[in-house]
């Protein structure tokens, strides 16, 4: 019996290890489906990394990447000496933190509230209504809010009647934090319903028998929410928070570009619009400087994601212990 088990090439009962070739032969359709997104990511996300060398060169189109003079970190020194860069960096950090707090908090709260609704048609109706703004084009959304926030817009008139502010076009108000709050409000309004879908899906997987047992033992809805639902979805919440922290610098570039103007550059300009301006506007675009700005942004985002992932792993170990 022992000789049979020790026989070369024998597999343990119940274990069926497939080689890559066997899996490819069986699931070749899945690999073909994966080929298109892989090609897209490779062409648009990985191949452009070769052009990061421009951040360390005195780049010119005539000489190309291989022929341009190598200047080391001179472009970064020039970048960090610009007051406009630090304004854009400050605005990016502030808007990112506001969006992270409200953009992550509201979808989670909406999902928890929907999980407590017992009337199916009402729950589905709220989900549909909250989900619809996500399908509206960013251009249309920005045009809507330009009208709503104008001097005689409906949102401005509402704020005037409630808070007695001076009638004005709020999108030309350069005071802190007017534009930051406007940007966060639009972000929350447009993406709360969409972002809550995954939380709703995770909450729906909680065993109802646990909830029923807690109710029989006298736990009210608040107790079940705090002591059962939140702990059950906390690992997923931490994972989503880690991903959001990694994307904290990826502000809504298109939205800000469509909303801001010269009156509010000091509070609305972010890292991506700063990079865009130096790349594609002006009499002489500075590709080396804009590449350095983009690389700096990517490095900071990567460091934040690694730190967040490390903290998440520590919290999970602590909870498991």
Rounded CA gap, 192 and 83, in Å? 34
Q: Which residue has the higher pLDDT, 6 or 271?
A: 271
Please report which confidence band the pLDDT of residue 251 belongs to, taking 50, 70 and 90 as the band edges: low
Whether pLDDT at 283 is above 90: no
CB 156 within 8 A of CB 148: yes
pLDDT in the model for residue 221: 85
The crossing angle, in degrees rounded to 10, of helices 83-115 and 271-280 is: 130
Rounded CA gap, 114 and 102, in Å? 18
Using alpha carbons only, what angle is made at residue 236 by residues 234 and 242, rounded to the nearest 5 degrees?
105
> Any alpha helices (H) in the chain, and if so which ranges?
2-5, 20-26, 28-41, 64-67, 74-80, 83-115, 120-131, 138-148, 154-163, 178-204, 208-216, 221-224, 230-246, 253-259, 265-268, 271-280, 287-320
Percent of the chain with pLDDT over 90: 25
Please report which confidence band the pLDDT of residue 62 belongs to, taking 50, 70 and 90 as the band edges: confident
Residue 206: strand, helix, or coil: coil
Quick check: bond before 177 cis, omega within 30? yes
The crossing angle, in degrees rounded to 10, of helices 83-115 and 178-204 is: 40
Residue 69, strand partner residues: 58
DSSP code per residue over 232-250: HHHHHHHHHHHHHHHTTT-
Rounded CA gap, 303 and 273, in Å? 22
Q: Looking at the chain, how many residues does it have?
A: 321
Backbone angles phi and psi of 151, in degrees to 5: -60, -35
**CB-CB neighbours of 280 under 10 Å:** 10
Tell me the pLDDT tens digit for each residue of 257-277: 888 888 888 899 888 888 888
Tell me the pLDDT tens digit for each residue of 155-169: 999 988 998 888 889
Rounded CA gap, 265 and 171, in Å? 11
């Amino acid at each position: 019996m022992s000789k049979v088990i020790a026989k070369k090439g024998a597999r343990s009962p119940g274990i069926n290890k497939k080689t890559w070739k066997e899996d490819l032969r069986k699931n070749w359709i899945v690999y073909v489906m994966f080929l298109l997104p892989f090609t897209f990511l490779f062409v648009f996300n990985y191949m452009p990394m070769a052009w990061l060398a421009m951040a360390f060169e005195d780049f010119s189109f005539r000489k190309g990447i291989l022929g341009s003079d190598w200047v080391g970190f001179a472009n970064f020194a020039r970048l960090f000496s610009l007051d406009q860069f630090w304004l854009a960096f400050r605005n990016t950090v502030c808007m990112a933190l506001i969006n992270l707090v409200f953009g992550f908090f509201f979808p989670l709260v909406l999902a928890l509230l929907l999980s407590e609704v017992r009337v199916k048609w009402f729950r589905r109706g709220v989900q549909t209504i909250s989900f619809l703004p996500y399908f509206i084009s960013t251009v249309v959304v920005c045009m809507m809010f330009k009208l709503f926030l104008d001097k005689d817009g409906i949102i401005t008139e509402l704020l005037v009647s409630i808070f007695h502010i001076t009638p004005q076009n709020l999108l030309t108000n350069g005071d802190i934090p007017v534009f930051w709050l406007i940007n966060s409000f639009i972000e929350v309004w447009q993406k709360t319903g969409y972002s809550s879908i995954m939380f709703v899906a995770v909450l729906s997987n909680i065993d109802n028998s646990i909830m029923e047992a807690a109710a029989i033992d006298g736990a009210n809805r608040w107790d079940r929410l705090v002591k059962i639902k939140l702990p059950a979805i906390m690992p997923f919440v931490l994972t989503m928070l880690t991903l959001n922290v990694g994307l904290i610098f990826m502000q809504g570039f298109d939205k800000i570009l469509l909303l801001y103007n010269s009156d509010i550059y000091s509070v609305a300009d972010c890292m991506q619009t700063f990079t865009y301006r130096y790349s594609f506007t002006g009499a002489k675009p500075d590709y080396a400087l804009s590449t350095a700005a983009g690389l700096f942004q990517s490095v900071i985002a990567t460091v934040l994601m690694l730190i967040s992932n490390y903290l998440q792993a520590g919290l999970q170990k602590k909870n498991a212990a």
